[in-house]
Amino acid sequence: MKNNFEKHKTDVIRRYIDVKFGKMKNQFSNLEELYRYVRSIQNDYFIDGNLSNDFNYITRYLKKAEEDIPIDFIMESSPIFSNGFDSDDKLKNVIYNVRSKLLGSDIEDPLIDKCTYSSNLVFRSFSELGLNVRRVIIYPGFTKEHDLLHFGSGYHAFNIVTINDKKYIIDLTYRQFFLKDRSSLERIGVFSLFNTTPGKFMTLNDSRMNTALELLKNGYIEMTDENIKNYFDGFALSYRNATYYDETLDFSFTTNYSPYDYMRFINEEDSQLNHEGIDRLGYQKKVLRNPNIRFSK
């Protein structure tokens, strides 16, 4: 493998340079080519169930390439701000106040890793108003019991609030999942990288896209059956690694989970892990039968 590593290293650096110094309109497509190349060679570095140290050198250039993609969103994500809300509109007023604290003067802040802070603010604000509010944390595979899926991280926190007998999902840091640098489907299944973010999967059909647009702009969506399925489908799809596609050949990017299933997931009564298995979720853990598998058609 030593001779292969020298060749792979040269090829990866060349492709990294194409990302870093390529024309802006070509940077993202060059990044996708880099993902495909790394996935096509990575089986060589998986020995007796472990990655060789040489592969860390290769993925280091992948991560550097992602950092060279300009901060941009794959879907309109500007939040709605208004000073004209009725003082009785508790939902919108809380969202306005929390968003003001989160964003300050930086309306384009991607809000990465701020879900804990945001969801705590939302929980405290609605609790002080005497409203029924819940803070929810989901982990890859909708289970916190198996660190192999996420190495103890990778969770997301949001809120559910009940107002006038209606329930709403409130997620004020949702825009972090729509950054372009990690939105390529070709990221799926690259060893040492977590999967494509939920935002990309929300763009793949009109219903999910409408749910995402409403949540990104307003900060909340009513918990209709359609919105529940769409919102959690985005996460469930992002938790699948390339083994799922390699073994099932299902590239529909859909799930069979119902709104009822998802409510059981977040109530810790069931999980995606129970239905799909550990090998197909979270970080890639198996070599691929088809290392040249493609996700972007």
**pLDDT value at 297 more than 80:** no
Angstrom distance (rounded) from CA 118 to CA 101: 9
pLDDT at 154 over 90: no
Residue 257, Ramachandran bin (φ over 0: left; ψ between -120 and 50: alpha; else beta): beta
Report the pLDDT value the prediction gives residue 86, as an integer from 0 to 100: 59
Question: Looking at residues 96-113, what average pLDDT do you find?
Answer: 91
Q: Does position 15 have pLDDT exceeding 80, yes or no?
A: yes
The pLDDT score that the predictor gives to residue 81 is: 76
pLDDT at 283: 87
- Confidence at residue 122, expressed as pLDDT on a 0 to 100 scale: 98
Residue 205: predicted pLDDT:
95
193-218, pLDDT tens digit by residue? 888 999 999 999 999 999 999 999 99
What percentage of the chain has pLDDT greater than the value 70? 94
Give residue 167's pLDDT band: very low, low, confident or very high (50, 70, 90). Answer: very high
Q: Residue 98 pLDDT more than 80?
A: yes
Average pLDDT over residues 75-102: 82
Tell me: pLDDT of 265 over 60. yes
Mean pLDDT computed over 249-273: 97
The confidence score (pLDDT) of residue 260 equals 98
Over residues 218-236, mean pLDDT: 97
Half-sphere exposure of 13 (CA within 13 A, CB side): 7
Cβ of 165: how many Cβ atoms within 10 Å?
Answer: 5
Whether the per-residue pLDDT at 112 is higher than 80: the answer is: yes
With tokens 């993925």, the residue in question is: 59
Q: What is the pLDDT of residue 77?
A: 80
Does residue 152 have a pLDDT over 60? no
Can you tell me the distance from the alpha carbon of 192 to that of 241, in angstroms, rounded to the nearest whole number? Answer: 11
Report pTM.
Answer: 0.94
148 pLDDT above the threshold of 80: no
Task: Tell me the CA distances in angstroms from 37 to 7, 184, 226, one per residue in order.
Answer: 12, 14, 37
Contact assessment for residue 63 and residue 215, using Cβ atoms and an 8 Å cutoff:
no
Rounded Cα distance between 72 and 81, Å, is 20
Dihedral sign computed on CA atoms, order 20, 22, 28, 34: negative
Q: Are 191 and 242 spatial neighbours (Cβ–Cβ below 8 Å)?
A: no
The pLDDT of residue 153 is 65
pLDDT at 1: 58
Least confident of 8-12, 33-37, 48-52, 82-86: 82-86
Say if residue 87's pLDDT is above 60: no
